[in-house]
Structure 1
Amino acid sequence: MKALVVAAVSAALLAGCAQSVPGRAGESSRLDPLKVAGLAITTGDSGPRPGAPAAGREARNSDGGAIDRLATSAVADIEGYWASQFPDRFDLDFEPVRQLVSYDSRGPNLRLCGTDTQGLVNAFYCSGEDVVAWDRGELLPSFDAISAVAVLAHEMGHAVQFRLGAGGNAPSIVKEQQADCYAGNYFRWVAEGNSERFQLSTGPGLNQILTTLFAIRDSAGSAFDAQGAHGTAFDRVTAFGFGFAEDPQRCARIDLEEIGKRSTQDVFDEQDGDIGFGVGNLRVDDRQALLDLKNSLAAAFPGSRVAWNGTCATTSPASYCAGGSVGIDLQALVRVGRIGDFAAFGAVASRYAVAVQESMGLSVEGVVAGQRTACLTGLWASTIVRSRKAPLELSPGDLDEAVVELLSRDSLIAGDARGTTIPSGFARVEAFRDGFLTGSAESCTTRYR
């Protein structure tokens, strides 16, 4: 985040903050906070099913180890999913990938698709040779099993694009977010219990996949239209969510215009100097920054009378106190601020959002209140995008900090008055995203009630 110190500021973060959520225009139906895109929240095992059938695929250059067995099983399963979808969704037959290749980035070099594998800690799809390849030495072992499957589901998403004739000269960001979306399609199928080889819980299992998307996001401050761009964690999670909630045709419709309208990816400007906590981060104990935060919340929720300096200390680093006040533990706020200023200020905003709900006569305890809190916190974030030229502004990477917080076990941004939240990080991110993209308190209070 940053304090606005000049009048002329870049306004490129969003074309406008009050955007409709793609695919949900005008929707105001109630959402069940104990479901993820219509599926019950589950907390069981995620990963390979015991006694799963053999892959039926082999990888060239394989060492025959556990990583390659997992990878070939994943590809076979993903191909089985797409074989069932292509005729119904696209009136086409799905052709399996021509070749799978395993390599060890720490070992002898292979030449694949014009690229040397020595030191290449990666997984990729090469359309020219119709190859899916992965690094068994360093990359895949760095993930748990279901996250490794997610990496390969993304690469197979590129194979889907190629078979639909949609790759070509499309910008990198379009290819990558379509692939994230196609991965979401596949994991919905797994979560519904349709896979013979893998299982996925919609609580911790999905959380781990979304954490993987965070781990391989673009760096804060990079442009979304740059060569090789994949998107911020917030944008990648959004694309995956489209796929998990909707069908493959939704993913095929992702294009540069749509991404441009919802992208949160922006470059640093001359006002995003390194001020001691990293580029784009404010000192969260700075008196002016705290004043700007309080003023931004009052502006986001006009008419809501919320007092400060509450002393109930029910949650950390900020608390909602009965009667409509908010308290801040400044030392705890500074500790959270080491993750990033948005993680800290978002926690404060969430307690303010709880007080706003009380002023509306809404319940402030329970999972519904927690989801509504996340939505209203997202709404607040939408009011401080750069296009608004507010005294306090989002900086590149701020919403990725929100993703980190929302995926944490005890997310306060998605917590009720006592800090109680639900086990699905996916559902928490979805609620925050609803508020951010709609910019509407009414949407938050009607969808989460």
Structure 2
Amino acid sequence: MNNQWQSCAFVVNLSQAVRKEQVGGKAVNLARLIHGGFNVPDGFVVTTTAFCHARETNHGHLDDSLADAISTAYRALGEPVVAVRSSATAEDLADSSMAGQYETFLNRKGIVSVLAAVEACWQSLCSERSRSYLEHQGIDADSVAMAVVVQRQVPARVAGVMFTCNPQTGDDGELVIEATWGLGEAVVSGSTQPDTLWVRKDSGMISRIHVAEKESVPLNGGEAPGSDPTGRHRSSCLDTKSVEELRATGRRIESYYGAPQDVEWAIDEHGELFILQSRPITSLEQVAARKRCQEEVLTWIRQRREEGYGPWVRHNLGETLPLPSPLTWSIISKFMSGAGGWGSMYRQVGFEPAANVREDGGLALIGGRIYLDLSVAHEMFAPGFPYRFDPGLLRQNPQAAQSSPTRRCGTFREQRRAAKLLYRVERNLHQLATSLHDRLETEIIPQL
């Protein structure tokens, strides 16, 4: 920017944005990147002082003093096409990034357009979406102030995001790069399917790559996104040189901040890499918790297998209760047990649930989902019942768990005893059906 331009209470140079309460989280991070030697587009920040001044004196709108200060800074920047981005004091935190909650405006050219975008960024703080998110994070919305970053917009040939640690697996030895042609906003907003590359952080080896068909190509200079007439939407955005530069830069940024980062970046037509933003990856704690849960489940399964239980298949009860709460499961598991209502129904028709299914009926909650233990499920019919459920059949059709087991086992004497049991059950079912029909006809229907 022009060296004659001076920061003031309302506007500061982006490189001088060091106080979060004055410039917000995004601007502080950008200034840190600048001081760390990273290539960040030039710009300035409309401070929280300006936001508070507008809110207190002009109902949240710019007055002449604010407009003059912003105009001076914009002229000093050379009046280029700019990106206007919200930078709240509650943003880019280690445990809540606020990504996508506030407004960003691209392709702004001319002071009238810039001033309108600044006001719109201020107003986004009061949106129902933002206030709801802040409340969910335990942050008082009235305590948050909004600064606005105005930066020279990179005429991007390709852009996207880079995670310096795999956000889905928690693998800190792997970077994940997402890229698309043109501006990276389409990747951040999710409006286009980007190319995705999984890159080993130390060696630079690309372990996996997915080239997407990028139907909508975000264009520079204010043009609306549209189909790419060159047909390049079917080709990979990044060459090996760009991937290597991104990998090296990602490692430097992670080292600089001392934690895994979610980095927005852009590469212009000349191949120059710009860093547009860096913030902590906030999902890693959830990933770690999921991995701990998975390890606990696997440990439990191994122990139970050593004790002779399993295998397990999904039970069709899970269609009604896909993720039962602990309270719900404590009630349902008792009902479905050999000693509960389900077992009572079995005994009513003549079956004899064994002692080892009295507590749970052969059902288990594994990883939050309901499974049937095939090593004991047949014992709901009788102790040592000489038929087993077919695992292959149940994997294809969980509804088969509601029928009798079909795989024959046991001695001839056991099978003969089971045949007698099944005969008695069939007779009892017929008698119960006849009795219920008579009750319907003589007692229940007349009382309706």
TM-score band (shorter)?
Answer: under 0.3
The structure whose Rg is larger is 2
Calculate the TM-score normalised by the size of structure 1: 0.26
Structure with greater strand percent: 2
TM-score of the superposed pair, with normalisation by structure 2: 0.26
* Larger RCO, structures 1/2 (Cα 8 Å, 6+ apart): 1
